[in-house]
Amino acid sequence: MISKNMENMLNEQINAELFSANLYLSICSYFQDQDLDGFANYFRVQSKEELFHASKQFDYIHAVGGKVTMKAIEAPETEFKSIIHTFEVTLTHEKKVTKSINNLVKLALSENDFATHNFLQWFIAEQVEEEASITNILKKLEMIGGNSSALYLLNTELGQRTFTEPKTNLK
């Protein structure tokens, strides 16, 4: 059983993951409008990953006898100035998500809630991977500058990304 405080914060986290999914769909649409299908694919996959994160947290709350409370999701940004801007927005957002996961870990430790602490370790690793991936693409975009051939190659590379739902032991 989790505490009421932990239940509330995990519910907030579900809301944040669903917001992330919508933000990345919004960015996906920005790229689809420009026929940059590889970039659009990257963000569509990212959106699916966020839905998976929310679903994993949803299942965990149920598994430990808590109550899931779905709330209104804030509207994401819909206007982006450039390709680089979309990745800057993404990195800033993911750093915010990392902070909220860290705050959940701090709460779990303060409550001696070792089960939730253990559950959150997957998300700690996931955040490291997400921030690294976005930072890597940002560096590539800085190298590319205005070179359209290099941009074409990166678009092709990002088109290869696929989503495979990781196995979860909560269902």
Helix (H) or strand (E) holding 101: helix 83-110
Asked whether 2 and 64 are in contact (CB, 8 A), the reply is yes
Residue 42 CB, shortest distance to ligand FEO, in Å, is: 13
**89-108 positions binding ligand FEO, by CB under 6 A:** 94, 97
Phi first, then psi, for residue 40 (nearest 5°) are: -60, -40
Site string for ligand FEO, 130-149 (x = CB under 6 A): x-------------------
17 binds ligand FEO (CB under 6 A): yes
Measured CA to CA, the distance from residue 164 to residue 69 in angstroms comes to 27
CA distances from 88 to 26, 41, 111, 168 (A): 14, 18, 35, 31
CA distance linking residue 171 with residue 63, whole number of Å: 9
Q: Is 50 in the site for ligand FEO (CB under 6 A)?
A: yes
Contact 17, 50 (CB under 8 A): yes
Residues of this chain, 51-90, that bind ligand FEO according to CB under 6 A: 53
Size of residue set near ligand FEO by CB under 6 A = 7
Q: Does 7 bind ligand FEO (CB under 6 A)?
A: no
Q: Is 44 in the site for ligand FEO (CB under 6 A)?
A: no
Question: Least Å distance between CB 94 and ligand FEO?
Answer: 5
Site residues (vs ligand FEO, CB under 6 A): 17, 20, 50, 53, 94, 97, 130
